[in-house]
Amino acid sequence: MTSDADRLTPPRQLLDTRLVAILRAPSAARFPQVAEALAAAGVTCVEFTLNSAGCLDALRAARRRLPDTVALGVGTALTPEQVRQAHDAGAQFVVSPNVDVDVIDSAVRLGLPCFPGAFTATEVVAAWRAGATAVKIFPASAVGPSYLSYLRGPLPDVPMLPTGGIGIDDVAAYLRAGAIGVGLGGPLLGDALAGHGDLPGGDLAALAARAERAMAAARVERS
């Protein structure tokens, strides 16, 4: 069991904005461009998912293009080897859809904040005891913000990051329920990841507008 003194802290970009943008697509070719657009709109904590082809190459490219004020992480990490690969590619945090003690331990040993996915109270406690930085409540939209409030009743000291199908209009409710932040995927990204590489793709201006809406919702709950 990891002591609180030894536990890694979340990236400050997550704590400052209360948002994580989750990039998932068949190809990761447009991830650097989309991450730039998100960062320009104020969303500075971005997750690249490993089940998107070319994810780690896209992460390296984005790291070269973006300033250090943007935290880039890797999601859908299922094995310790994937955690090591993410670390070597420059990831600053790792996210998993499940609780795997070996994955958590690998991340902690490499100094990577980790957010394993859990749903039940039993899974949340297991993830926390294994050394999670915070626990991703997934899929959050299946149960809504009230479920987070219920979990936090007996587990008030476990930071929780609800993710999965959350809309921009739901951000404030999850933060009021006690989330340290919210993971936003499809409802934030829209068609931004359409296209390939430099070929015409989704509407980045519309993406920026949605990102600014999400930032505004998070700011209201911080004030």
Q: Please identify which of the residues 36, 136, 212, 221 carries the catalytic annotation.
A: 136
Query: For the chain, what is the largest distance between any 2 Cα atoms, rounded to a whole number of angstroms?
Result: 50
Q: Please identify which of the residues 36, 47, 123, 221 carries the catalytic annotation.
A: 47
Per the CB < 8 A criterion, the answer to whether 207 and 38 are in contact is yes
**For this structure, is 47 an active site residue?**
yes
Handedness of CA 203, 191, 215, 46 (dihedral sign): negative
Which residues form the catalytic set?
47, 136
